Structure 1
């Protein structure tokens, strides 16, 4: 921590390998980030998909403090913990949306909040309906604001919880298990340690997950010019 660089805040590996007084706190930090990104409006800038993929790669290190002795069990527990935090975060976002309502639409933009993000999430929700709760999990920024929109429009609580739980487990297990088993596959079959290519992996995941958002913005820009 003595050589801390603020740019590290955008590097998922920094959070996973974080230590405090010699104690590894990566797991706690990862779980908090998942909650913050899905439950706190200020968490939209935090790494999401890349963080979970890397959590799968570093699952052994993350679960070191509570290891159950079996690789598959450890990864399953890790993914389950992440899913639970995702569910909790979305529940908080839903509650916040239901309570705040019109206030958010009238709130002025600042460094941490952009009304445009809220409107994009609303358009996404209108397009996909209840399934947006699932789809939004895999799209940065949108996943932060979609549960808030669900609360604002008064989405049925039982329906919200069903799609919330399903989406959270799909997201957590897909990203974490992909990272864990692709790492093993490349290491054992091709003798390639993906930990040496973390920067490229992060860039690749960010590019893939943000493409739908960028495409939508480009499409809007072209439409306005016409």
Structure 2
């Protein structure tokens, strides 16, 4: 329970935690950033870690001169690309057995169904779009691996999506993160970056489950 409480607090106040980490440990913050992004994108059991809000906060700190922007973007890009490649490889290895897994503490069936539904409808571009959607972002490369998507094709979408996501959201933090209004409402912005895409992912999972039931009853 203490770990869960800390994780929730970290997600909702990622700006304070990262700033405090920089003040105490300096350059080690880049190792922390790599670990967070790699785990969030690379391990299908960890979809709750901050993604978009983390990048925005990093951009904000870079804009304030607290962190080095080129180094931060490079570290985040490498972590995002390697994370998706790892997740894809796990999905490719596990294969069709995934479709037999049930909802559990370590596997979010609804989020997986949402990612699979999104992938089936939109194909490879899902890998790019999913970068901007919490939960879906974690499951999309895993689903691509399960579906045996061509590795070269997946890698191309992976790199393109990572570039758009990391550079785009981080630079948004640089440009807007230190505006007084944004600073005053940062916690609300973080909530919006988590809740709105999360609701979209849940809706997608609900639709996928509903269609599956309708197909089974037909």
Same fold (TM over 0.5): yes
CA deviation profile, 1:182-223 (whole Å, cap 9, x unmatched): 135x3xxxxx26334321221222234334224446767999
Equivalent position to 1:28, from 28, 31, 36:
31
The structure-2 alpha-carbon separation of the partners of 1:110 and 1:9, relative to structure 1 and needing over 3 Å to count, comes to farther
- Compare 94-103 and 166-175 and name the one that shifted more: 94-103
Unaligned runs of 5+ in 1: 64-73, 187-191
Query: Separation in 1 of the partners of 2:40 and 2:23?
Result: 26
Out of 154, 166, 182, the residue aligned to residue 194 of structure 1 is: 182
- Pairing 1:34-73 to 2, within 5 Å after superposition: 34-59=37-62, 60=64, 63=67
Q: Give the Cα separation in 1 of the matches to 2:106 and 2:22.
A: 27
1:205 aligns with 2:193: yes
Instruction: Report deviation, 1:83.
Output: 1.4
CA contact (8 A) 2:40 2:46 kept: yes
Aligned to 2:216: none
Equivalenced residue count is: 205
Look up the match of 1:147: 141
2:75 is matched with 81
Contact 1:55–1:62 (CA<8 Å) still a contact in 2?
Answer: no
With structure 1 as the length reference, what TM-score do the two structures score?
A: 0.79
1: CA distance, partners of 2:164 / 2:66: 20
- Cα deviation for residue 103 of structure 1 reads 3.0
Q: Please list every run of 5 or more consecutive structure 2 residues that lacks an aligned counterpart in the other structure.
A: 214-218
Q: How far 1:155 moved relative to its partner? A: 0.8
Per-residue deviation at 1:149? 1.0
Cα deviation, 1:81-121, whole Å, max 9, x if unaligned, reads 21111000000001100111133222343223122222221
- TM-score, scaled to structure 2: 0.82
CA distance in 1, matches of 2:78, 2:195: 26
Deviations 1:110-166 (A, max 9, x none): 223122222221111101101111011011111111111111111111111110000
1:8 equivalent in alignment to 2:2: no
